[in-house]
Copies of this chain bind each other. A is one copy, B any other.
Amino acid sequence: MLNPLFYPKSIAVIGATEKEGKEGNIIMKNLLNLGYSGEVYPVNPKYESVYSIKCRKIEELNVDLAIIVTPPETVVEIVKRLKNRAKYVIIITAGFSEGSEEGKKREDELKKIIKERGIRILGPNTVGILNTENSLATTFAELNELKKGNISFISQSGVVLGVILLRCISCGYGISKVASLGNKIDLDEVDFLNYFFEDEKTDVIGMYLEGIKGRKMFEFLRKEGLKKPIVILKGGMTEAGKKAAVSHTSSLAGNYKVFEGFAKQMNLIKVETLQELLDTVKTISFLGIPKGKNLGIVHYTGAGCVLSSDFATRYGFNLPELSTETKERIRRITPEWHKIRNPIDIWPAFEKHREKAYETVYEALNEDKNIEIIITAFPAMKGFKTPELKGDKPTLVCVEGNTEIREKIRKELEEKSIPCFVSEKECIETLHRINCTGK
């Protein structure tokens, strides 16, 4: 249903210009330079052409998508004239209900038009959308660095989305589609959820919301079911947070207890920070929803074994006894005196055999019927060569130690779809969050 928005054959940019720094310039350049292959029509009565493309009049248009960046006082008139000329309209322009009384009036007029004319609007006050498949970005500048992937995001805040995408770029996480909701006078989180549920390229959905159209979302999810995992970061949990939310997106954050109940009932995965949002989304992106409560844990310190036992138990996981076969395989590479148990303290074997110790232990765990999910910790120290983890069980890795080496190991592993964490706590908390949804 949102296909013309995410896969438009033709786009009009209303307010297109060659003036550097202007929104209408950034958008034109992105549409022309990032690889989008549909038609692009600049609209601006001031110019004959923009970047050698002839400017059109609104009355000449027949496009899938129109993007408006003109001043707020011109927007209502333009949307009226776009009747039957654009299927979707993205209003980038700010200065509506979030700004002033006058802006609120303009927004009310827009709402009337939507009802009367059947045109669909994203925004106003949005940074628009992004689709890596057809290299479409309505504002973001760094799309060329984004990796294609199976994660889609919905965010109320454009800047938050920017930060999320920066992290995805620097970490190399694969993105499918992104939507910034802005003032959501028409298209909202439910419309995008609905679309991403059906979208073949999306496997997991990350959301940042302040206000939620609770009843609409509740009814939608009850009817449709949770077709794909949704990871949600909700702002405005406390009174102070709610006040900040009002002044940010005019959102009524609502009662957090109600949201919590709702999230639980609907199996949404709740997170509390952007870092947790990214950690959780990346893990699902790599592993799907790992099933099972039986962990096999490997650590290079006895203390790590102690601490990860604590976390695992606290979050309801089991540390089953290792099979005789597993113990025998590990026995061959570890000193006589070493007591082999789960969690496995790999240091004695590692001192003798380095990465081979990790590989042997990992392969043994991978074939151990008592174990469903493997967590292994690597020391980020000079000379440590990332072991090859050959197997098919869901695997999560913690890398501690030197920051630069850690980052290098993280990249190596995540290129192979093995999610990495800075500590057992983050790792086991993330797994718990995902695992509990059971979807």
Show the binding face of A for B, using Cβ within 8 Å. 99-100, 156-157, 159-160, 162-163, 166-167, 169-171, 208, 210, 233, 235-241, 243-245, 247-249, 253, 272-275, 300-307, 309-310, 312-314, 319, 337, 339, 341, 343, 345, 347, 379-381, 400-405, 407, 422-425
Q: Are B275 and A245 in contact (CB under 8 A)?
A: no
What residues on B are CB-neighbors of A160 within 8 Å?
A: 301, 303-304
Sampled A-B contacts (16; CB under 8 Å):
A99-B337, A157-B303, A166-B379, A166-B381, A166-B401, A167-B400, A208-B303, A235-B306, A237-B310, A237-B314, A238-B310, A239-B313, A240-B310, A240-B319, A244-B343, A248-B305
What residues on B are CB-neighbors of A405 within 8 Å?
A: 170
- Find the residue from A167, A275, A302, A343 having the highest chain B CB count within 10 A: A302
Q: Are B306 and A210 in contact (CB under 8 A)?
A: yes
What residues on B are CB-neighbors of A423 within 8 Å?
A: 273-275
Interface of A is mostly: helix
Q: Are A309 and B170 in contact (CB under 8 A)?
A: no
Partner of A313, one of B171, B241, B274: B241
What residues on B are CB-neighbors of A243 within 8 Å?
A: 309, 341
CB distance from A15 to the nearest CB of B (A): 18
* Distance, CA A423 to CA B426, complexed state (A): 14
Partner of A159, one of B99, B167, B300: B300
Q: Are B314 and A238 in contact (CB under 8 A)?
A: yes
Partner of A307, one of B171, B235, B301: B235
* Distance, CA A312 to CA B300, complexed state (A): 36
Contact A235 to B170, CB < 8 A, known contacts A275-B423, A422-B275: no
Contact A170 to B402, CB < 8 A, known contacts A208-B303, A247-B339, A423-B273: yes
* Distance, CA A301 to CA B302, complexed state (A): 42
CB distance from A135 to the nearest CB of B (A): 20
Contact A302 to B167, CB < 8 A, known contacts A310-B237, A403-B407: no
